[in-house]
Amino acid sequence: MNNEWLDTIVVARRDATSRIVVLDLVRPDDGELPEFAAGAHVDVLVDGAAGLVRQYSLCGPPQDRTRYRLAVLAEAASRGGSLGMHRLREGDRLRISRPRNRFGVSDEARRHLLVAGGIGVTPLLAMAHALEARGAEYELHYCARSRADSAFVEELENNPRVRLHFDDGPDDQRFSVAADIGPPDPEAAVYVCGPGGFMDFVISSARGAGWPAEAIHKERFAPVEDTAAHTAGGTFTVRLAKSGNAYEIKDGESVLDVLLAAGVDAPYSCQQGICGECIVRVLAGEPDHRDDILTDRERADGMFTTCSSRAHSPILELDL
């Protein structure tokens, strides 16, 4: 993992709901934190001894570099990340990476439609802050089971550009792709983040209504498929262009795992095909893309995720 860790201190902590904690992080010397664009996330070293690293979106205003804000949902099936974050208290130290972003605001769109499901509001909240600051046209649709399950409601409910949609509320305030997103608009972009089932519903409904894939931007917090599906398949060879070394990738192995085991300095972070840190360029061969982050254009341009994708051809040459 190619991280330059930054030391931060938890300067504020509050329970936004019974399952969501909001943490504000500052530098120990009170200096400015690295600049970030709306939609960015950081790696968090939750447990240094165990090497436990998790990714969390920055949800505060990007123009405020005095602190970073994270909101973390306590997951029932947590592997230690979210529960470790919930144990943090004011004054605790936390190591984080510099911000990275593959879910930014489109420079080509005039109108921005933000659709959040549950804790998926975090990167979209930062986008709303950024769009508000620049006077851009946007709408934020925040969907949750109930008001009690929703963080940041007090901050958002009086904003005329925000619509709150609760599963336990009246039918006329339920989220509808037809009513709230509407027909395709060549000057608009749609941004979706939240649980997998919610995202699949919004994206498939928007595509069914005629929205082109390139107008829909998404970020997932978990892979669409079981990660075992990423490594299933026949044996192939990966050749590295810079060294000329070749490595055999067998059924059940990922390209990234084999490269790391061989001591190759390959980039990576989440190892689930959702953060984009491991992306490299394919120079020759036919990739078998199994990630859920690359766009069709990026795939056509030769981009490839080493942690979750394989090859249709016998040999795949990578720009490593």
> What tens digit of pLDDT does each residue of 220-258 get?
876 655 566 777 889 999 999 999 999 999 999 999 999
pLDDT at 180: 97
pLDDT at 90: 98
pLDDT at 81: 84
For 26, what's the count of Cα atoms within 13 Å in the CB-facing half-sphere? Answer: 11
Q: Assess whether pLDDT exceeds 80 at residue 127.
A: yes
pLDDT at 1: 56
Which carries the bigger pLDDT value, residue 104 or residue 272?
104
Mean pLDDT of 12-16: 97
318 neighbors 282 (Cβ within 8 angstroms):
yes
Q: Assess whether pLDDT exceeds 80 at residue 86.
A: yes
pLDDT at 75: 85
Percent of the chain with pLDDT over 70: 95
CA angle 144/147/153 to nearest 5° reads 95
User: Which residues 6+ apart lie within 8 Å of 183 measured at CB?
Assistant: 209, 210
- With cut-offs at 50, 70 and 90, classify the pLDDT of residue 295: confident
Average pLDDT, the chain: 92
Q: Which two tokens stand for residue 151?
A: 């963080």
Mean pLDDT of 94-115: 95
CA gap 101, 277 in Å, rounded? 9
Q: Which two tokens stand for residue 289?
A: 């893309």
CA gap 257, 304 in Å, rounded? 15
Domains defined for the chain, CATH in brackets = 6-96 (2.40.30.10), 111-219 (3.40.50.80), 228-318 (3.10.20.30)
Q: Assess whether pLDDT exceeds 80 at residue 269.
A: no
> What tens digit of pLDDT does each residue of 139-174 get?
999 999 999 999 999 999 999 999 999 999 999 999
Mean pLDDT of 40-44: 95
Mean pLDDT of 288-305: 88
